Homo-oligomer: A and B are copies of this chain.
């Protein structure tokens, strides 16, 4: 999974099967010093993440497995809203 910050949402009327009733958030991946880390990702959200929230995003088929049995063609999902973290800089961690 990766850490990111929710920076917005996207709407689509014309969409594939299984994309109905999905809230799609725009997530900017960040490092733990709150600096941007790569391109934005569009992730589905079912746990109520809002703009500004730090979140944990899971990608690939694991993200989709929550909908097993249903055809939901997503490849990224918000799986947690971060309360806190404790991270040493790599140098301190030795």
Interface set of A (CB-CB < 8 Å, partner B): 1-3, 5-19, 24, 26, 28-32, 36-43, 46-48, 51-52, 56, 58-66, 68, 71-90, 93-94
**Contacts A39-B37, A71-B68 known; A5 to B85 CB distance under 8 Å?**
no
B75 and A14 form a contact (CB under 8 A): no
State the Cβ distance, A45 to closest chain B Cβ, in Å. Answer: 9
**Contacts A26-B32, A73-B66, A85-B9 known; A3 to B93 CB distance under 8 Å?**
no
Which 3 pairs between the two chains have the least Cβ-Cβ distance? A8-B87, A12-B80, A15-B80
How many Å lie between the Cα of A8 and that of B31 in the bound state? 12
A46 and B90 form a contact (CB under 8 A): no
